[in-house]
Each structure stands twice: as C-alpha cells, then as structure tokens.
Structure 1
Amino acid sequence: MSTPLNWRPAKAPQPVPLVGRFIRLEKLDPRRDREHLWAVFQGPEADQTLWKYLAYGPFTEREDFDHWLDSNAASSDPLFYSVIDLASGQTQGILSLMSIVPEQGRIEIGHIAFGAAMQRTPKGTEAIYLLGKQAFALGNRRLEWKCNNDNARSKRAAERFGFTFEGVFRKHMVTKDHNRDTAWYSITDDEWPAIAAGFERWLSEDNQRPEGQLKTLEACRTGA
C-alpha cells in the first residue's frame, strides 16, 4: 500500500489580475475587450488559421461574436482571461483555466486564442507562464493541456512549454462535424519549479533583447 499523501484540495481560481513584464491577464470583460478582440480576431490582420481546431468560430456576424464573448465572460469554468499588452493597452487574446477539479488537484489551460500581434513575441509564452504559476500556487498537483491530435502547432507549443505527452484519446469528440482524437499533455507539481525557472530565464531582460532572444525556452529550461 502506498504512503498517504496528507494532501489537501486545491483552491478554486479567482479572477485576480496577473501581471508580467509584457502582458497583464485580467478576467474577460466584454465592455472593455469587445472592440479590441473583434479587431484582432476578425479584422483584416487576423490569423486566418486561428479557428481551425477550435469548437467555435470564425464569426462572420458581429451578433454571434458578441454572444460568444458574453457567454465566456459569464463562465467560471472555463474561467476566461483577457491578455492585455502592457505597451499599448490593447487586448490581444484570451485563454482560460478550465476543467477545474480542486478536490483532485487538477486544472487545465485551454480555449487559447491569441491574435496575430501576440504571435512570435514573448507575450503568448508569458501568458502560459502566468497561468501555470497561478495554477500551482492554488495547490494543484497537475496542469493539463489538451488539443486536437491533428493540431501540430498546439502540440509543438505544449512541448516547448515543458508539458509531457501522455497519449491520445481516440474518437474523443466530434467538433464541427469532424472526428477529434485528443492529445493529452501535463505538468505535475514536482516538475513545475524547474519548468518555471526556465520560463523566468527566457522572459528575463538578459534573454529578451531588442535584437532578439539569446536562448530558446528549451535551452533556458535545461540550462544548455
């Protein structure tokens, strides 16, 4: 028989602001964020591949988009955060903590939708770091990442962020009338300190220079 854990359930996340070097995460607020998000998600410079593997979108009608945003803001699981660029004050993306099970100490980062202005910048990485830090500060044992097994970009991101691949749930969902096999990834609480230190080294002023980053996130995590 294994040794008792003497573990207490995690706390449920509260919509408190989370501030980094490049971005601030705040609870999604349609009154504040609606116009910015409509522009970054559906405007002329929007990433046309953004909605391919999400269960919703793209939104050709503003009314549908507004209803989707309002529904997200009213939800506590998923708990949606807006990603606000500190330099411009513009809301440039959303993501959530979801599948929140405090009594088992597990939680997931999901519903990630980053506008083009966040891509290939430190902002998206910092958003994942801030939510991961919050998840484990609440006492969770496990942080999950799940995506369509066909979504190569999301799978690469999970591995880059330090998540461990755990397997594929075959025929897990039907999304937009297509089969979805779901790839599962996780970070556990004992793994997080080293992964967090890698994030912090990568995001630091010493690594993020005007001429570009000096080391990759993987190198910062492994000490290479």
Structure 2
Amino acid sequence: MNDRSDPPRHNELGQPVGVPVENWTPRPRPPQSAMEGRFSRVEPLEAARHGDDLFAAFAEDDDGRTWTYMASGPFADREAFDRWLSICQQSEDPFFQAILDLASGQALGVASYMRMVPDMGVIEVGNISLAPRLQKTAAATEAMYLMMRRAFDELGYRRYEWKCDSLNAASRKAAERLGFTFEGIFRQAVVYKGRNRDTAWYAITDQEWPTIRQALESWLDAGNFDGEGHQKQPLSAFMPKPS
C-alpha cells in the first residue's frame, strides 16, 4: 500500500507523477461464497430461496419509502417483485447479495457489488435496499462490514465506492457513519424514474481501510452491546476523527 502523504514523484522530464503501485495485478471478482458474522449472513441472491422472506419484509414498508431513491420499486404485486428478483439473480454486474438476519434466519435486505473494474482495483457497493426491520441494526452494519472486508482483505481492491442521489440524506449519512469520505457531486449524472439525479460520490481506499476496519470491529465486538443488544458506544466513538 502507498501512503497518500508520500512526497510527489517526478519522471525523467521533471513532471510530477503518482507513486508506483508495485507488483500490481488485476483483482478477482467476488466469489459465490457466503460471508457470515455474529449478526448477519451475506450470500448470493437466489430468487427461489430468498423471495418469500424479502417480499414479506419489504411489504412492511407501507408507503414505499425504501424505494424512493432506487432505480426499481416499489412493486405493484408479487409477480412484479419476482421479475425484479429474477433479473437481479441473473446479473453479474451488479452482483446481488441477500442480507440475512441471523437471529431470525430471514432475508431482510439486498445489496450488490457493482461497477467492478478488476484491472484498476475499483469496486462499488450499491443497490442497498433494507426492509424496515433491518434498518439501523447491528446486522445491517455488519453486512456492510463483511462486504468491505471481502473487497479489501480477501480480494485486494484498492478503492471501494458508495454513490447515491445527492438528495438521499439517509444514504449519505450511512456512508459517512461507515467511514466513507465524501468526494463531491457529479451533476446531472443519471436520469431515473423520469427525474434527474445529481450523484454524491464517497469512497474508502486501501490506505484508509485498516483504521476503518478496526473501528467497525470494535463497534461490533460483543463487549460493546448490553444484554438486550443495545450498543454501549456509537460507531462514531471508534472512527478516526477528521483531521
């Protein structure tokens, strides 16, 4: 890994150039295997296996608020939902994952690895849709941690991205809580559901990951939860303070 504080390098013409990335090789794509922690399990989405749980869980979102900033949904009926799940399952990029709550054993959300650029070591997490029961839970946070850990520690990616509608305050807050750095707004980047989207970009780099991983693991540790499963300290207490 290269420290971003390294002094600038220069080529033989005296022009500033980036620091070398030694022994770099393209990164593998995420495998089909599951990831499991104390609260959650993340596994490749299967419509037949996860459909009943997901449809029932998302149905608890009475006004469809979960889907406001998503390209798909809300769904008129189970048939429409199953068509969407089938498309998601067959997609290679995005590569959709089901998020299971281990306490109930139920699938309560989805997320995906997407816009994968193995040659450059860049990968994005997106299509994050969490049913009301999964939102703001340790299982949801752990699922995001598991996906980060696979990208950085198992697969060796250099950059992990999070993008969302700039008006999606909840998504932006979640990115910042998880340690992503805000990098700017891409104006008029997307048209979806017949409306404009200015896209907010966030990312974590491999240099930043060890500190963020330690913060997430400290927050997820059993000692940070009381007998009723309530956190003793918020994740922000473990995250590095802005310089």
The alignment's TM-score, normalised by the length of structure 2, stands at 0.88
Q: CA deviation at 1:12?
A: 1.0
Give 1:31's aligned residue.
Answer: 48
Give 2:182's aligned residue.
Answer: 165
Between stretches 101-110 and 118-127, larger displacement belongs to 118-127
Are 1:219 and 2:237 an aligned pair? yes
In 2, Cα distance between the equivalents of 1:13 and 1:147?
22
Are 1:77 and 2:83 an aligned pair? no
Corresponding pairs, count: 222
Amino acid corresponding to residue 54 of structure 1 in structure 2: M
Between stretches 116-125 and 158-167, larger displacement belongs to 116-125
Q: Which ranges in structure 2 are unaligned for 5 or more consecutive residues?
A: 1-10, 12-16
Runs of 4+, deviation exceeding 6 Å:
none
Q: 1:152 to 1:85 in 2, by over 3 A?
A: same
1:17 to 29, 34, 38: 34
2:133 to 117, 120, 143: 117
Are 1:56 and 2:72 an aligned pair? yes
Counterpart contact for 2:60–2:131, Cα < 8 Å: no
In 1, Cα distance between the equivalents of 2:197 and 2:143?
26
SS at match of 1:4: coil
CA RMSD across the alignment: 1.4
2:142 to 123, 126, 134: 126
Q: Which ranges in structure 1 are unaligned for 5 or more consecutive residues?
A: none
Q: 1:193 to 1:44 in 2, by over 3 A?
A: closer
In 2, Cα distance between the equivalents of 1:77 and 1:200?
28
Are 1:106 and 2:129 an aligned pair? no
Q: CA deviation at 1:45?
A: 5.0
Between stretches 82-91 and 175-184, larger displacement belongs to 82-91
